[in-house]
């Protein structure tokens, strides 16, 4: 009896924590390979295809190179902030993953294994708040480097992230309106009861959220803070070795986090598609976790697709897009959603 | 359950540290930060009281305090920037033009 | 378990406020303050106020401190301002702090004991706070929104460069 108690009270939580740390790393490895190959194929290049079958081992080679690389900190840098910045970025995205439900609870005998570390009544806000802490890593990283391009990148990213947080908040509100909860698990459960995903009910919210999410994660076409043609590499220009790897992994972890949020809020999380069509009932056999993975892989692919397709925005256009288009659109959408909710 | 007294003690300690920080620092921005610490200490006391007396309204009041603090920070920092633009300094000891 | 978390967060909060007082660099002060506010958010969570914890993290740690750091970057005082050198102000600060501490402790001791709620609250759900906000506290809520708009416009007007300046 004590033995099972030990397993349930200690081993499983520790295992979950390890899984939450490993999961973004694993996704990063997948994404590095996917991104480089897909972008190359879209641009009629070959991309990495030498290391392993179709270049599958390329990310490991990259990681190995970063491990061995000399960790340089130039003299004029601020030592404390320079070291803290990558940790902050990494910390915020990993901590936010604790609250993201990855699948439906699995029943093992009498024990219910939940695929999340913590369920909070304010989970959605908590994830958004924790992931916004990463902006400090970007600011401090850019500022502590004490040179021109990182500082420019950091300033840009502050303005960008603060601006795009507003449409995100407004669109999240419309989802909360329908789900009547800020709890991520409850939001998915509500979609399973309603038998319709919020993405189809609130298409405008989804589109606005997705555009803002791309801007929040500093990805093309909104990758102004690290625009390589203007700023060398933006806020992490001066970083090398493991510290750079931290920024790199954190960026991908953030993408995975945002994709998870989109999937959970707008596309039913771990639910199987077509709940109304009896012919597709066999889809429910596949475990929820797999559906979740399939869905977030689609959105991660969308990230790469957009990056390979669209040219980069100019900075003033980027801010104009947020304040003159997305925020009014999100407000209007919110108003309409509120009216519909009131009438229904 | 944690005794609410612990929270009160912590809140008092933070408030006093905020006051010390306010007098210790010599520039407007960090003094402003010290004020924020005091506000937070007060919020903590509020919530601890709400918990011990089972009074949910206190949370709403803390919500108002936080929103007002956000507005205050925006205005205050704008004033600090304005002072810096006019006087080229934010050290409080050099801002003595009102001194007779 | 909860008491351990309390001491952890309390140590983080007090330690980082002390660090903020000691550090001579404004950016370090801001970093310490972020840690202090985040751990205060954790304490709010321990007090059964998860919504307030999140508001604390989003607004204080996520928005207000970003503003502070942004202003610090714009002013960019380089070396930062060294802490107070005149001995008498340090002494005065510490003295005042001790007096205040004694005063508050004295006041708290004299106060009647707070009536303790019988059982532990399960924590307030955001729904409950929302209901209070839009019924009992509707007017304060609306007035706060006007205040925020006023602050927004005021900040823009204050900072805007006038013609010919």
| Among B35, B62, B47, residue whose Cα is nearest residue B11 | B47
Degrees (nearest 5) of the Cα angle A93, A94, A97?
Answer: 90
> What is the structure's pLDDT at C86?
62
Q: Does residue B31 form part of some domain?
A: yes
Residue C80 predicted with pLDDT over 60: no
> What is the structure's pLDDT at C118?
46
Percent of chain A with pLDDT over 90: 1
Choice among A23-37, C22-36, C80-94 with the minimum mean pLDDT: C80-94
Give Cα C89 to chain centroid, integer Å: 24
CATH number for the domain including B76?
A: 1.10.287.3510
Architecture of domain C1-78: Up-down Bundle (1.20)
Partners of B91 in beta bridges: B27
C-alpha–C-alpha distance, residues A264 and A270, integer Å: 8
> What is the structure's pLDDT at A159?
82
DSSP-based three-state secondary structure for A106: strand
Minimum Cα–Cα distance from B78: chain C residue: C155
- CA torsion sign, A26 to A31 to A32 to A38? positive
Q: How far from B88 is each of A334, B59, B80, C26, C74, CA to CA, in Å?
A: 44, 41, 11, 17, 12
Residue A57 predicted with pLDDT over 70: yes
| Subunit partners of chain C (3 or more CB pairs within 8 A) | A, B
Percent of chain B with pLDDT over 90: 2
> What is the structure's pLDDT at A92?
86
Percent of chain A with pLDDT over 70: 94
Residue C111 predicted with pLDDT over 70: no
Q: Does residue B1 form part of some domain?
A: no
Q: Among A126, A145, A180, which would you mutate to test the C interface (most chain C Cβ atoms within 10 Å of its Cβ)?
A: A126
Q: Given CB atoms, is B38 within the 8 Å cutoff of chain C?
A: no
Size of interface A-C (CB pairs under 8 A): 67
Residue B13 predicted with pLDDT over 70: yes
Q: Given CB atoms, is C28 within the 8 Å cutoff of chain A?
A: yes
Q: Does residue B86 form part of some domain?
A: yes
Q: Does residue A53 form part of some domain?
A: no
> What is the structure's pLDDT at A1?
47
Q: How far is B99 from chain C (nearest CA, A)?
A: 19
C-alpha–C-alpha distance, residues C121 and C140, integer Å: 26
Q: Does residue A155 form part of some domain?
A: yes
Q: Which domain holds residue B33?
A: 26-94
ipTM confidence score: 0.86
Are residues A212 and A258 in contact, defined by beta-carbon separation less than 8 angstroms? no
In terms of phi and psi (left: phi > 0; alpha: psi -120 to 50; beta: otherwise), the region of A82 is: alpha
Task: For residues A147-154, give the mean pLDDT.
Answer: 79
**DSSP one-letter code for C117:** P
User: Rounded mean pLDDT of chain A?
Assistant: 81
Residue-by-residue DSSP string for C60-113: IIIIIHHHHHHHHHHH--TT-PPPP--HHHHHHHHHHHHHHHHHHHHHHHHSPP
Chain A positions in Cβ-Cβ contact with residue C58 (cut-off 8 Å)? 125, 128-129, 132
Chain C positions in Cβ-Cβ contact with residue B64 (cut-off 8 Å)? 137, 140-141, 144
Residue in A129, A133, A136 nearest the CB of C54: A129
Q: Does residue A29 form part of some domain?
A: no
Residue in A80, A128, A144 nearest the CB of C58: A128
Task: For residues A242-251, give the mean pLDDT.
Answer: 82
Residue C84 predicted with pLDDT over 60: no
Q: Which domain holds residue A214?
A: 75-103+118-343
> What is the structure's pLDDT at C143?
92
Q: How far from A219 is each of A40, A170, A227, A306, C45, CA to CA, in Å?
A: 17, 21, 10, 9, 33
Most confident of A102-106, A159-163, A231-235, B76-80: B76-80
Q: How far is A58 from chain C (nearest CA, A)?
A: 36
Confidence of residue C147 (pLDDT cuts 50, 70, 90): very high
pLDDT digits (tens, 9 = 90+) for A17-50: 888 888 888 888 888 888 888 888 888 887 777 7
**DSSP one-letter code for C118:** S
Residues 6 or more apart whose Cβ sits within 8 Å of residue C140:
B64
Choice among B4-8, B82-86, C115-119, C129-133 with the minimum mean pLDDT: C115-119
C-alpha–C-alpha distance, residues A85 and C34, integer Å: 13
| Among A150, A205, A148, residue whose Cα is nearest residue A175 | A205
The residue extents of the domains of chain C are 1-78, 122-165
> What is the structure's pLDDT at C163?
62
Confidence of residue A139 (pLDDT cuts 50, 70, 90): confident
> What is the structure's pLDDT at A3?
63
Helix (H) or strand (E) holding A111, with range, is: strand A111-113
Q: Given CB atoms, is B96 within the 8 Å cutoff of chain C?
A: no
Q: Given CB atoms, is A82 within the 8 Å cutoff of chain C?
A: no
Peptide bond into A161 cis (omega under 30): no
| Subunit partners of chain B (3 or more CB pairs within 8 A) | C
Domain count, chain A: 1
| B and A make contact (3+ CB pairs below 8 Å) | no
Chain A positions in Cβ-Cβ contact with residue C25 (cut-off 8 Å)? 78
C-alpha–C-alpha distance, residues A114 and A100, integer Å: 11
Q: Does residue B5 form part of some domain?
A: no
Contact B81 C60 (CB under 8 A): no
> What is the structure's pLDDT at C15?
92
Q: Which residue has the higher pLDDT, B1 or A296?
A: A296
Confidence of residue A230 (pLDDT cuts 50, 70, 90): low
Contact A129 C126 (CB under 8 A): no
pLDDT digits (tens, 9 = 90+) for A101-138: 887 777 776 777 777 777 778 888 888 888 888 888 88
C-alpha–C-alpha distance, residues C124 and B59, integer Å: 9
Residue A4 predicted with pLDDT over 70: no
The pTM of the full predicted model, rounded to 2 decimals, is 0.85
Domain count, chain B: 1
Structure tokens at B74: 């925006």
User: Rounded mean pLDDT of chain C?
Assistant: 79
Residue A235 predicted with pLDDT over 80: no
């Amino acid at each position: 009896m004590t033995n099972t108690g030990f397993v349930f009270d200690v081993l499983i939580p520790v295992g979950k924590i390890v899984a939450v740390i490993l999961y973004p790393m694993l996704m990063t490895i997948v994404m590095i390979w996917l991104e480089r190959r897909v972008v190359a194929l879209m641009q009629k290049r070959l991309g990495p295809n030498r290391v392993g079958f179709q270049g599958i081992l390329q990310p490991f080679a990259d990681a190995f190179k970063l491990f061995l690389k000399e960790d340089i900190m130039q003299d004029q840098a601020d030592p404390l902030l320079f070291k803290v910045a990558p940790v902050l970025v990494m910390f915020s995205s990993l901590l936010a993953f604790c609250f993201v439900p990855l699948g439906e609870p699995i029943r093992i005998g009498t024990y219910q294994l939940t695929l999340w570390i913590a369920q909070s009544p304010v989970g959605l806000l908590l994830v958004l708040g924790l992931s916004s802490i990463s902006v400090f890593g970007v600011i401090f990283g850019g500022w502590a480097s004490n040179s021109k391009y990182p500082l420019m990148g950091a300033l840009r990213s502050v303005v960008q992230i603060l601006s795009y947080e507003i449409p995100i908040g407004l669109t999240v509100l419309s989802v909360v309106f329908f789900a009547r909860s800020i709890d991520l698990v409850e939001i998915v459960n509500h979609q399973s009861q309603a038998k319709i995903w919020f993405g189809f009910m609130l298409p405008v919210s989804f589109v606005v959220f997705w555009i803002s999410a791309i801007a929040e994660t500093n990805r093309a076409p909104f990758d102004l803070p690290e625009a390589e043609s203007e700023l060398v590499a933006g806020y992490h220009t001066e970083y090398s070795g493991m510290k750079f790897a931290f920024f790199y992994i954190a960026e991908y972890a953030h993408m995975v986090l945002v994709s998870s949020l989109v999937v959970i809020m707008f596309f039913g999380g771990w639910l199987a598609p077509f709940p109304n069509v009896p012919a597709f009932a066999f889809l429910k056999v596949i475990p929820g976790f797999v559906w979740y993975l399939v869905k977030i892989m689609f959105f991660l692919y969308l990230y790469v697709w957009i990056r390979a397709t669209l040219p980069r925005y100019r900075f003033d256009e980027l801010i104009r897009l947020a304040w003159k288009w997305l925020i009014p659109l999100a407000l209007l959408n919110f108003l309409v959603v509120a009216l519909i909710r009131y009438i229904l | 359950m944690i005794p609410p007294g612990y929270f009160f003690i912590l809140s008092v300690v933070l408030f006093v540290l905020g006051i010390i920080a306010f007098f210790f620092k010599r520039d407007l921005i960090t003094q402003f930060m010290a004020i924020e610490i005091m506000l937070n200490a007060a919020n903590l006391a509020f919530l601890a009281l709400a918990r011990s007396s089972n009074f949910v309204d206190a949370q709403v009041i803390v919500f108002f305090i936080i929103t007002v603090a956000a507005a205050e920070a925006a205005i205050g920092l704008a004033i600090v920037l304005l002072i810096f633009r006019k006087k080229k300094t934010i050290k409080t000891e050099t801002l003595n033009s009102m001194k007779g | 378990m909860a008491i351990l978390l309390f001491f952890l967060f309390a140590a983080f909060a007090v330690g980082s406020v002390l660090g903020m007082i000691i550090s001579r660099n404004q950016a370090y002060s801001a970093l310490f303050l972020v840690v202090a506010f985040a751990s205060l958010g954790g304490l709010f969570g321990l007090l059964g106020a998860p919504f307030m914890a999140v508001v604390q993290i989003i607004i204080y740690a996520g928005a207000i401190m970003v503003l502070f750091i942004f202003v610090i970057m714009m002013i960019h005082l380089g070396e930062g301002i060294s802490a107070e050198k005149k001995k008498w102000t340090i002494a005065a600060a510490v003295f005042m702090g001790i007096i205040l501490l004694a005063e508050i402790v004295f006041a708290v001791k004299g106060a009647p004991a707070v009536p303790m709620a019988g059982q532990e609250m399960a924590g307030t759900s955001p729904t409950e706070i929302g209901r209070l906000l839009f019924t009992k506290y509707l007017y304060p809520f609306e007035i706060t929104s006007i205040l925020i708009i006023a602050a927004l416009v005021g900040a823009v007007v204050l900072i805007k460069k006038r013609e010919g300046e």
